[in-house]
Amino acid sequence: MSNQEMLDTLRDTVVTQNINGCAEATQAALDAGLSAVEIINDGLSPGMKIVGDKFEAAEIYLPQIMMSAKAMNAAMELLLPVLEEEKGNTDGVGLAITYVQEGDIHDIGHRLVTTMLEANGFKIVDMGVDVPNEKVAEEVSKNKGKKLLLVGSALMTTSMLGQKDTVAMLAEEGLRDSVKIMFGGAPVSDAWITEIGADATAENAADAARVALSLMQ
């Protein structure tokens, strides 16, 4: 099977909610020498994109999305240790506080980004999902003075609005200059980042690591 056929199979197992098949295809792709990042960015994530589009078009419903997410999670069980193994010897890059915005429990992308940052030498405080801005500000305040990066995810247009309040709250509490801020998730655009006064966004987990490192320069 060619690399492209393997990536297509990975995509299709997510779309068809084939949990065992997705794990098997992931292991096969790793065995064939594809990198974890390729498997995520060029196989599994395009599958999730199709699932989202089908949901929006009312061609599938929530139970099917949940099964697709389970397929993706089965793949991630195999991929996260591989990403960890690729961790470079780059201690002291900075501290990344990662979280998903209040009201939002979509954590697949958040976990991927968190792992990629850790693999690139960041120390991590992972605050998880559905995190209120007050808690975020508290964590930033606690770590003031360190080389600090805030990494927020929001997958819904509603939760994305909370990112504006995050930046405003940090500014009000005199913390804005203590931290670089990057936000991501499907609805987040460059225009939004500029509008709310954050520092950057990124398309995917690999890009997030590249952007994060450049923000820490």
Q: Is 27 helix (H, G, I), strand (E, B) or coil?
A: helix
What's the min distance (Å) between Cβ of 202 and ligand HCB? 4
Quickly count: other Cβ atoms within 10 Å of residue 214's Cβ: 10
Cα–Cα distance for residue pair 170/161, rounded to 1 Å: 15
What's the min distance (Å) between Cβ of 149 and ligand HCB? 9
Part of the chain binding ligand HCB (CB under 6 A), chosen from 20-28, 77-85, 87-95, 98-106: 98-106
Among 30, 82, 156, 213, binds ligand HCB (CB under 6 A): 156
Part of the chain binding ligand HCB (CB under 6 A), chosen from 1-9, 42-50, 135-143, 164-172: 42-50
Cα–Cα distance for residue pair 209/214, rounded to 1 Å: 9
Q: Is 155 helix (H, G, I), strand (E, B) or coil?
A: coil
H or E segment to which residue 212 belongs = helix 205-215
Q: Residues 6 or more apart from 34 whose CB is under 8 A from it?
A: 3, 6, 7
Among 43, 109, 121, 162, binds ligand HCB (CB under 6 A): 109
Q: State yes or no: residue 124 binds ligand HCB (CB under 6 A).
A: no
Total H helices, total E strands in the chain: 10, 4
Q: State yes or no: residue 185 binds ligand HCB (CB under 6 A).
A: yes
Among 187, 192, 199, 213, binds ligand HCB (CB under 6 A): 187
Among 6, 48, 131, 196, binds ligand HCB (CB under 6 A): 48
Burial 84-104 (b: 16+ CB within 10 A, else e): eeeeeeeeebbbbbbbbbbeb
Q: Give the binding site for ligand HCB (CB under 6 A).
A: 45, 48-49, 51-52, 55-56, 62, 65-66, 69, 103-110, 112-113, 151, 153, 155-158, 182-187, 201-202, 204-205, 208
